[in-house]
Structures are given as C-alpha cells and as structure tokens.
Structure 1
Amino acid sequence: MTAYQSLLVIDKTAKLPAYLQLANQMMNLIRGGELRAGQKLLGTRQLAQLLGLHRKTVVQAYDELLAQGWLESRTGSGTYVVENLPEMTPQPFGDVSKNVLNPAKTAGFSFNETPHLQRPVMVSGRPYHLDDGFPDPRMAPLNELSGAYRSNLLHGNSYVRLGYGDTKGSSWLRRELAVYLNETRGLKITEENVLITRGTVMGLYLVATGLLNKGDNVAVGALSWLGANMNFRQAGAHLHSLTVDDHGPVVEELEQLCQKKTIRLVYLTSHHHYPTTVALRADRRLKLLQLAETYGFIVFEDDYDYDFHYLSKPLLPLAAVDRAGMVLYCGSFTKTISPAFRVGYLVGPENVISHLAQLRRIIDRQGDTMLENSLAELLQNGVIQRHLRKSLRAYRERRDVFCELLKTELGNYLDFQVPNGGMAVWARFDKSIDMEKLSEKALKKDLFFSNGLQHNDSDNVLNATRLGFASSTPEELEQSVGILKKVI
C-alpha cells in the first residue's frame, strides 16, 4: 500500500481528468515492471480510499485499462495485470541517472548522421538584415491574396474544392502558369508540362531522387547553391565542380569533363548565378545545350529570380530554346511574394512530369490546393504581374542606394560589382577581416548578415558573402551599412 501511495500521485488541479492520470500512471508501472504480469490489483474501493479519490474515478481508470488490454477481470477473484505481457525488469533503486536516456531527446536506436545535411537554417528576426536576397513581404499583395483565399475556400463545389486533387497540383494554377511562362519567358508549354511543388527545393529533391542513380555524375559550379548540392549528395551522386567566372560557369570545362566521364545532370542558375549574381553568357548557353544533346545529360535550370532584372529585357531561359527536351526548368513564388508561401513549379517534358508526379505522391499527396488556386486567381487577374512591376521599380531603387552606400562607406573594406538583376550583392571582403567575428559583432548591433563560410571550400577561403538589399527600405539600408561600418 505504501508503494501505491508513493507511485500513484494524482494532481486534482491538472486539466487531464483524474481517472486518465491514474490509468496512465498504472500503465507506466506495468511497462516498467513495477506491476508484473498476472499481479492482482487492489480493489477499487480500497485504492480509492488510499489515494483520496472517489471510487467511480478508480472504476473509470480500471475500465480504461481493461479496454486497452492492460488488465483483465476474473469473476469472483478481482482485477489482474494480464498474463500475456513480456517480463519487465524494474529499474533498480539508487543513482542510475548515467544509464537512463531521455527518450524525448535521445533515440534508443542508432542511425547515421550525414555531414552533407549539416546546414544552418537562415532565420534573422533582427530589425536590420542584409539577407541572402529575399523579397520585402511588406510589399506583397496580401489583401488580394487573402481575398482570393477566402473566395476559393467558401465558393464552389465543396466536395471537389476541399477534396483530393491531382498530384501535379492545381490544374487552374498549372494553366495560368503555362500562359504566364509562355508570355514572359518564351516557353512553349501547356499545363501538362507543369508540376506544382512546395518550392524549388522540392523540385530538386524530386529530380535527384527520381532521375539520378547512386554513383551518377553531376556537374555544378565551383561556387553553387549548397541546397542543390545537398540534394545531389543525398541521392548518392558524385559532384564535379566547374570554374565560375564573370560570365557564369565555364562550359569549356564541362565539355572536357564529358569527354572523360558520363555526366547525368548539370545544375545551374543561368540568369543570376548563385551566389555571384552573374549571368551565363549567350555563347555559353548555346554551347551548353549542344553538349546536352550530344552527351545526353539533363540540364536543371534553377531560375530563382528571373523576374527581377534592372537593365534591358533579360536573356530568355535555356528552357525557351531547348529543342531536344533536355532542360528541366524550376522556379517559385518565394522571391515573388514571400518565402512563407511554399508554392513552386517544375517545367519539363510531359513524360518526365508524370513520372515525378508519381514520386511526389509518396512524399506529399498534393500541395495546398486553396493557396494554389488563390495564386492562380491572382495570375489570372493580373495582380501578381502588377506586383512584380511595382517591386521591380522599388528593388532597382534599393539596389542603386545600397551599391552607392557600399562604395562610399565601405569601399576600403570590400569589393563588388553592381548586379544587373536579382536581390543581393556578391561582396568580397578584405582578407584581413574575420567574417565570422564580423557577423557576430553585427548581430549584437541588431544587424543580420551571413558570414559567407558556406561558400568556402577546404582549399579556398573567399571571404565573401551575399548582402541582400530587396527586403530593406533605403532608410533601413543606410542604417545597416552604418552598423556594418562601425563594427568593421
């Protein structure tokens, strides 16, 4: 009885009903071996008196355990722990903390932790930020989006509207995207060439998982997006680096590589190379497509911020001039509206899109149909197009202000080229500056920016990082540069 009193403690102020507290505690005692298989329990009246509970509470607890199969009732004899439980060894008394794991923190089973997945999550939350090149969500058409979302949520056939849909994504959004991409990027596609994803990362994962085999060779820029490289490594591919100069990846190196190895896929950000922001030159684009046809490799074109180009009309994507079906084209609304809205798209030949849609089904049955239809409505009504024109003007102004500030205030400490497009500046800092310490000092002054260490490799410390300007007003950019100058 003393053991019952010490092991069963009911908190009458807790939200969980007393009978469930009692049932859960007794269940844990059975699991831990303190109550053994076949052991007879106290009668409900006796246990109620012992714990200061109403007898009905104990009866409810016993009934719960009987229903779950932990206890059995024997007519005329009482209530027992069921006989068919495996034998449990109770924990010994004394200081056993060194041998006890917290199952909420540490698994009891082993698994392999892969180094290539160790990538810090970029979350700022600071008043000032020179981020990786994110949009300003304060400019997003949120009123129009919320109105469209409400309309799509409430109107129409609810069984169809709120039920399961096509694994390729909302047919409405795929139709509108096909029209939009044909008009703005020179593509020649229909909705059957479009797969809606949760963003570019999901498109990369589907391609890496569905089209690569372990041991395949993938070519990327020596300076490239770590998120893409992680996906290729996860698929078991071997990565081969291409030199990146002022005109993008050096395609001549790719040709030499193709003569030595079978290349399965080439990944690139042709419009504004990540992270350096340079555009892939026209002659290299043509040469790349010729090599893809000759050697049969896939071209994954990540066009993460095509809509933001500040000079003349931007070069058309590789996908617009692909005549052999070698290019998979990927983009998202992350840079258009906000990273919180996880809607992207993957464009390719119909048979590839159908294949990847089958794979997507076992990862994520479908996307957010309400959000996808809402974005389709905004595309159809021209809201997103107007938002892009407004954003383009604002981001061009911010780029100009920011680059002038960098030149006049920090020209002695860093070097950069004014980007023709995109949302960030590739800044190369003086080698005497410790980027990690600089970032930490700036953070204490409420300025966030990446220390750029992810762009380094074992042989080359670049001392460079991306400084995003689009998400800050001219006044905020002036404050940010002032903080950066002080900490330097």
Structure 2
Amino acid sequence: MSSPVEVALNNLIKIDRSLSSPVYLQIAKQMINAIQRGVLRHGVRLPGSRQLALGLGVHRKTAIAAIAELEAQGWVTVSANRGTFVHSVHAGPADQPVAFDSAELLRYPKEAGFGFRRSMLLDRPVSLSRYELEFTDGLPDVRLAPMDRLSKNYAGILRRGNSRGYLGYSHVEGNTFFRQHLANYLNDTRGLHVGVENILTTRGIQMGLYLASTTLLEPGDRVVVGSLSYYVANMIFQKAGAQLSVVPVDEQGVSLEAIRDLCRGGRIRMLYITPHHHYPTTVTLSAERRQALIQLSVEYGFVILEDDYDYDYHYHSSPVLPLASADRSGMVVYIGSFCKALAPGLRTGYIVAPENLIAEIGKLRRIVDRQGDMVMEQALAEMIREGEFQRHLKKAQKIYQERRDALCMRLAQEFEEYLTFQKPPGGLAVWTEWRRDLNLLKLSRACAESKLHLPQTLLFQSGQVSGIRLGFGNFNLPELHMATDILRDSVAKVSG
C-alpha cells in the first residue's frame, strides 16, 4: 500500500475566494491539472478528507465534495478502508515525489509541439493605436453612426414573436430580406441590375476578397494590380498561389496599355481594381478607360475584381458608376461593404456576381462562416427600407466634406514646402506626396512621441514614390487641428 502523496498540496493548489467558481471545483480542477501533467502519478494515495481539508484550510465537506468530483470524472478511485488513489496514464514510482514548478502548472504552452507551415506573406501586422489621435487609411467616425436607430431595430427584432427565424440557420447567401433591399439599394445608387440571386453577404471587404480569390484563383495564376495597391488584397492573392503583375497608375487610373501588353504576353486570370477611388492614391478611373477595360476583359477572358470600398462618399458631382453597372458579359465581380458607411466593427459586406458564381462561392462560405449575422442584416435592411440609412449618408457626407476641406486647407497652408496633393472628389482620405529626402518612418516615430499614431501601413516610400495616405474621417474638427499641428511639428523636427 502506497503512503499518502508527499507533494505539498497547499503549494499545488491555490484557492481564490474572489472567483465565482466554488472552492471544491477549484480544488478538483487544479488536482486534475496536476494529474494530467504527471505531478500526481497513477497509484498515488491522496490524503484523507480530514487531512486534505486541514492542509488546504477548507471545511471538510468542501474536501469531500472535491474528492467526489474527482471520482465522478474518473480521476481517482475510492477504495473502502484503503483510501483514495490517483487514476492516470502517467506511470512511475507512486511513492516518489515529483519535482514541479507550480507556475508551470498554470501556464499554457508557448510553442506548438508539432511542425506546421508558416506564411511570410501574412507577417505584415495591423498596427493598433495606443493614442486617442490616429491617422487611418480612411475610416469613418463611429460617433456619427446611427447606433440608436440600429440598436432599436436590433432589439425590436429579438423581441418579436418570429425572432427564432433569425437565430437559427438560414440561407448561406445571407438574410433574404436584407438581400432584397440591398439589391434595390445597389440598383438605385450604383446602376446595377441585380436580384437576390446575385448577392452573397460577407463580413466585410476582406472576407469578400478571400472568398472570391479562393474560388477563382489557382496556383500560378496571374493577378494584375496597380503599382500602388491594397496590401491586404495582395496578400490574399499571393496566399491563393497567384503571381502579381504590376501596372502603372496615373491621374486617370490604371494604365490600359500596360494591361493590354500583359495580356498579349501571356494569360492573366484577374485584374484587381478600386476604380471609384484607387487605393491608396484616390484617383478615379476615367469613363473612357472603364468602357475599354470591360471590352478588354471580354477579349482576353480575365476576371475584373472590383473593390468599391468607399463609393458612398462623394462631394461634388454624382459619382461615376461602377464597372459592374456596364458589365453585360459577366466579367465583373463586385465587392462592397457597409463598414465605411457605418462603422468598421459592423462587419456587413457583400459580393455581387452572376448567379452561378454566387452559388459556387456560397459553398466556400458555408465552411468558412455558415452565415452572417441574420439579426444585424435584418436591422440594417429595415433601416434601408425606411430610408434611415440613406438619411445618415446624406448627413455624414456634409460632415466629411467639411473635414476634407479643413485637412486640405491645413496641408496647403502649412505643409507647402514638404508635400503636394490633389483634393479628392470623395472618400475619407487624402493622398499626399512628400519630399524624397524626408524619412517617413522617422516622421511616424516623431508623431508617436507626441501621441499621434501614423501607422506604417499608410507610408509608401521607395525609390519611385514617397507618399502618405492621410485619413480624415475619424477626426472631428478640433481633433483634426490637433493632429495636423503634431504632424507639422514632427515634420519640422525630422527635416531639421
């Protein structure tokens, strides 16, 4: 018969009475942890309930309840007149104490014990701000979002007698009511001619890019992007095994001649484009190039993946309609979202494409994310139906235009010797081109010293370009003045 365990249980078990978990369960769980990790080996006899209670400073009934829990889960065997013995796969001398580090018992493994494939493509981190002031790549001001109305709709849906219909599984393509009103909205605002069968909902632009590229691309396929492009999209294409081909972007958008030359030189599978406001430079693809580009895609058979990330904000004339509105041959896959119109955290987006492609992408969606947030989609659809969403956009557009004008005025007045820019006709960011002798990374660090976050993802500096994409949407006017003051002072510090 083995003697009672010689491990000091008061060192092994730490009781925290501030936790909601009962003390007997804390004891049982920590003893299970010690058994699983081999500190308490098979056959070890545990102290009796009286001794255990005394050692841990708990009531005997608590110790009895802990032992009963261990027995119920099969971790110990209780034998009448003999005692309680550990039941474990860990063999070894039951009477010999095992050295252990009590902190190690509470630590999760830092590294996997097996090998796996790592991706350098995805190493570029998203830099989160520690400061209240932050230049973004064109995010909206979440304080302007109609959250009262949205939350009222959301809560009302949950209170309805038919709410179960939104809380179970539904169409993979998304909430049908939402897709109906989304189709109406897109047809009205973007000149599309689509129905619910042409729409699949997603959780934002990036999910749409991932689903479309995974479905459409094979390893070795060539994808054409602008000479400056959205780095997340580039990573998604490369992760799918595609090879990127870069074409120049001028004041009228991507170069049509460069794309044609690539087509003549070999097969391209896809062109990724942000034609309304090219990312990051904000230039708009000209109407002439839009028509020619669609004809070129039909001639050479490549997919146009149209990312329309900020179509909703335009400040002068009516916006140029997307390429998808002129597509009669089924060559355009159109991706958009409500993240810029409302708030980035409300992950509601969509893919618009021919019906057979939507059905195929839906198969992939089914295993990645069974469906979207049916309640949120219903709430948003009701806002669209009632005109609340459209009224929000109209109100927000005036505010963002005022902020754009304020930023451009500051840039023109106080940064003239350092940069040039063109006032964008829409969107939530300004593209600025800086003097080549100014180190933009040092500028970012100088801004951080004054508690202004200027993320590296907004900096584009190489032998050919020196630019920063400055988002203004998330600032109110006082914040915008504070941010530009810090930026101005940081530029003077770095350039001096």
| TM above 0.5 | yes
Runs of 4+ in 1 over 6 A off after TM superposition: 88-92, 94-97
| AA of the residue aligned to 1:245 | D
Provide the C-alpha distance between the structure 2 equivalents of 1:296 and 1:118, rounded to a whole number of angstroms: 33
Equivalent residue number for residue 377 of structure 2 = 372
Which of 128, 131, 139 does residue 126 from structure 1 map onto?
131
Query: Which region of structure 1 is more displaced relative to structure 2, 99-108 or 374-383?
Result: 99-108
CA drift of 1:433 comes to: 1.6
Deviation at 1:451, TM superposition (A): 4.2
2:351 is aligned, of 308, 330, 346, to 346
Distance in 1 (alpha carbons) for counterparts of 2:335 and 2:302: 17
Aligned to 1:427: 432
Deviates more, 1:158-167 or 1:243-252: 158-167
Which residue pairs with 1:437 in the alignment? 442
Structure 2: distance between partners of 1:401 and 1:18: 60
Question: Secondary structure in 2 aligned to 1:367?
Answer: coil
Distance 2:92 2:288 in 1: 73
Query: Which residue of structure 2 lines up, in the alignment, with residue 403 of structure 1?
Result: 408
* Matching of residue 193 in structure 1 with residue 198 in structure 2: yes
**1:29, 1:452 → 2: CA distance?**
46
Aligned AA (1:425):
V
How far off its partner does 1:191 sit?
1.1
Which residue of structure 2 aligns with residue 337 of structure 1? 342
Q: CA deviation at 1:383?
A: 1.1
Match of 2:185 in 1: 180
Instruction: Tell me the C-alpha RMSD between the 2 structures.
Output: 2.6
| 1:381 aligned residue (352, 366, 386) | 386
Displacement after TM superposition at 1:356 (Å):
1.2
Q: Deviations over 1:136-195 (max 9, x none)?
A: 222222222122222222124132132222111111111111011111111000011111
Between the aligned residues of both structures, percent identity stands at 45
Deviates more, 1:44-53 or 1:23-32: 44-53
Secondary structure of 2:44's partner? Answer: coil
1:28 aligns with 2:25: no
Inter-CA distance 10–468: structure 2 relative to 1 (3 Å threshold): closer
Query: For structure 1, which runs of at least 5 residues remain unmatched after alignment?
Result: none
**Shift in Å at residue 47 of structure 1?**
3.3
Q: Secondary structure at the match of 2:85?
A: strand
Q: 1:95 to 1:354 in 2, by over 3 A?
A: closer
- The letter of the residue matching 2:91 is E
Name the SS for the 1:143 alignment partner.
helix
State the Cα deviation string for residues 382-416 of structure 1 (Å, max 9, x = none). Answer: 11111212222222222222212211111111111
C-alpha distance in structure 2 between counterparts of 1:94 and 1:198, whole Å: 46
Note if contact 1:8-1:22 (Cα within 8 Å) is conserved in structure 2: no
Which secondary structure state, in structure 2, belongs to the residue aligned with residue 362 of structure 1? helix
Describe the superposition over 1:257-302 as per-residue Cα deviations: whole angstroms up to 9, x where unpaired. 1222221211110110000000112222122212221222211100
The TM-score, its normalising length taken from structure 1, stands at 0.92
Distance of aligned partners of 1:18 and 1:318 in 2 relative to their CA distance in 1, 3 Å threshold: same
Closer/same/farther in 2, CA of residues 14 and 396 from structure 1, 3 Å limit: closer
Report the counterpart of residue 472 of structure 1 in structure 2: 475
Kept in 1: contact 2:7–2:97 (CA 8 A): no
Task: After superposing the two structures, state which structure 1 stretch, 373-382 or 432-441, moved more.
Answer: 432-441
Measure how far apart 1:449 and its partner are.
Answer: 2.6
Is this contact kept in 1: 2:311–2:427, CA < 8 A?
yes
Greater Cα shift, 62-71 or 190-199: 62-71
- 2:229 aligned partner: 224
Separation of aligned partners in 2, 1:91 and 1:419: 73
CA distance in 1, matches of 2:38, 2:125: 42
Q: Kindly indicate whether residue 295 of structure 2 is the aligned counterpart of residue 290 of structure 1.
A: yes
CA contact (8 A) 2:440 2:459 kept: no
- Checking the alignment, whether the CA contact within 8 Å between 1:10 and 1:18 is kept in structure 2 is no
* Contact 1:301 1:318 survives alignment (8 Å): yes
Structure 1 residue 114 corresponds to structure 2 residue 114? no
Q: Does the 8 Å CA contact 1:452/1:463 hold for their aligned counterparts?
A: no
Q: How does 1:296-311 map to 2 (within 5 A)?
A: 296-311=301-316
1:152-163 residue pairs with structure 2 within 5 A?
152-163=157-168
1:271, 1:306 within 8 Å by CA — same for their partners in 2? yes
Show CA shifts across 1:15-66 (max 9, x none).
Answer: 3433223222322332233322233333334433444443332222222122
Question: Are 2:7 and 1:3 aligned?
Answer: yes
Deviations 1:300-348 (A, max 9, x none): 1000111212232221111001011111101111111111211111100
The within-5 A match list for 1:140-159 is 140-159=145-164
Shift of 1:10: 4.8
Q: Distance in 2 between matches of 1:132 and 1:258?
A: 32
Residue-pair matches, total: 484
Distance 2:97 2:299 in 1: 68
* Whole-angstrom CA distance in 2 between matches of 1:24 and 1:424: 53
Say which is worse superposed, 58-67 or 234-243, in terms of deviation: 58-67
Partner of 2:488: 485
For residues 192-232 of structure 1, the C-alpha deviation after alignment (integer angstroms, 9 at most, x for no partner) is 11111110001011112222122221111120001111111
- How far apart in 2 are the matches of 1:213 and 1:413? 44
Identify the residue that residue 206 of structure 1 maps to in structure 2. Answer: 211
Mark the CA change 1:51 to 1:180 in structure 2 (over 3 Å): closer, same or farther. closer
